[in-house]
Amino acid sequence: GVMEELGLGPEVLLQDNPRLIYARLTGFGQAGTYARSAGHDINFLALSGVLSKLGRKDENPYAPLNLLADFSGGGVMCAMGVVLALYERTRSGKGQIIDASMVEGVAYLSSFLWKSQNLGFWSRPRGENFLDSGAPFYETYKTSDGKFMAVGAIEPQFYEQFIKGLGLDSDKLPSQLSYSDWPKMKKRIASIFAQKTQAEWCSIFDGTDACVTPVLSFDQVASHQHNKQRSSFIKNDHEEISPRPAPRLSRTPAVPSLKRDPFIGEHTEEILLENGFTKEEIAKLHSDKVIAFSKLKSNL
C-alpha cells in the first residue's frame, strides 16, 4: 500500500500507460491475512512449508541464510514474472500487475518436494532422508585439517566409486539403501575422512565420478582450478571478489563492472540532475527526508 499512499498505485499508472508492467514484490503477497504483516525470509519460508523440511535429525528446522525466500522465491521469481509479462505484451500489447509473494514463490520453487513425496525421497522424518543429511552418501565430512568434503554419490555407479575412493569394499558393506545402517555408515565414513586433509581427498576424488568435492570458503573459490579456468569469480578495483554474472549468454554476455559497489545514496544527486531536477528541488527533497545523500569523505 505504500505506492498507493504516494498516488502511484498500479491502477493509476496503468491508466496513463496501459503497456506498463508493474511488479509488486512482498513477503506475504497483496492479499490474505498476513498481507500487511511484517516478516523476514525465515517467516515466509515457514509459511510455505519448506522450512519444516530443512534441518538435521532431532534438531530444530533451520533457515539457510536468507537465500530461499528473499532471493530465490522472491527476487528470481519476480524477475521471471517480469520476463513472462514482457513476452505476453508482445502479443497483447498490454502490461499487467505482478503479485510476487515470497511465500508462494519459494513454495513453487520447491515443487519437487511435493511432487516427489511418493517416490521415497521424503517418506521419513526430517534429517533421515536421501537429501537432508540422512544418507551417508549425501553429506559433508570433516577432514584432518578442519576443512570439509561434500559427498553426493546417489546413483549406484557413483556410490561404488565413492566407496572405492574411501578404500572400502562394497561387498563387505551393508546395502547402499539399508536405512537402518545409515547412522553406523555415517560414523564409519566420518572417521575415514578425518584421516586425511582436504587436499589429499581432492587428489583421490578429482577426475572421478564419485561426486565428491571440496567445500570451498569464499577465500578459496577464486583460486580453485575449475573456477579459474572458467573465470567464475572476478575482482573489482578494490581487490574484492564476487561471482561473475550468470548464466552466460553466447551472443550478449554480461560485462561485469570492475568498480566497487556504490554506497547507498552516493549518486542520488547526480542521477536526479541527469533526469531534469534542479539543485533547489533536490535540496528540498533532501531537507524533507525524501532522499538521502552519502558522499565519499576524504581521508586526508
The 10s digit of each residue's pLDDT in 2-24 is 888 889 999 999 999 999 999 99
Quick one: fold of 2-119? Rossmann fold (3.40.50)
Tell me what pLDDT residue 120 has: 79
Clarify whether 16 is annotated catalytic.
no
Instruction: Give start-end residues of each CATH 3.40.50.10540 domain in the chain.
Output: 2-119
Q: How confident is the model at residue 297 (pLDDT cuts 50, 70, 90)?
A: low
As a whole number, mean pLDDT of residues 229-255 equals 94
Residue that the C-alpha cell 500487475 belongs to: 97
Q: What percent of the chain has pLDDT over 70?
A: 98
Task: Write out the H or E segment, with its range, that includes residue 235.
Answer: strand 233-235
Put residue 93 in one of left, alpha, beta given phi > 0 → left and psi -120 to 50 → alpha.
left
The catalytic residue among 16, 41, 58, 70 is: 70
Query: Please, which residues have CB within 8 angstroms of residue 204's CB and are 6 or more apart in sequence?
Result: 165, 196
Query: Please, which residues have CB within 8 angstroms of residue 212's CB and are 6 or more apart in sequence?
Result: 149, 150, 151, 152, 153, 162, 165, 201, 205
Q: Dmax of the chain from CA atoms? A: 82
Whether residue 275 is predicted with pLDDT greater than 80 in this model: the reply is: yes
The catalytic residue among 40, 145, 206, 209 is: 40
Rg (CA), the chain: 25
Whether residue 299 is predicted with pLDDT greater than 70 in this model: the reply is: no
Alpha helices by DSSP H, listed for the chain, are 2-5, 10-16, 41-48, 77-92, 102-109, 111-115, 156-165, 182-193, 198-205, 218-221, 225-230, 268-274, 279-287
Q: Which amino acid is at 87?
A: Y
> What does each C-alpha distance from 262 to 38, 223, 257, 258, 269 come to in angstroms?
28, 26, 11, 12, 13
Instruction: Give start-end residues of each CATH 3.30.1540.10 domain in the chain.
Output: 138-215
Q: How confident is the model at residue 107 (pLDDT cuts 50, 70, 90)?
A: very high
Clarify whether 171 is annotated catalytic.
no
- Per the confidence metrics, is the pTM higher than 0.75? yes
Please identify, in words, the CATH class of the domain defined by 138-215.
alpha beta
Indicate the SS3 state at residue 150: strand
To the nearest whole number, what is the mean pLDDT of the chain? 94
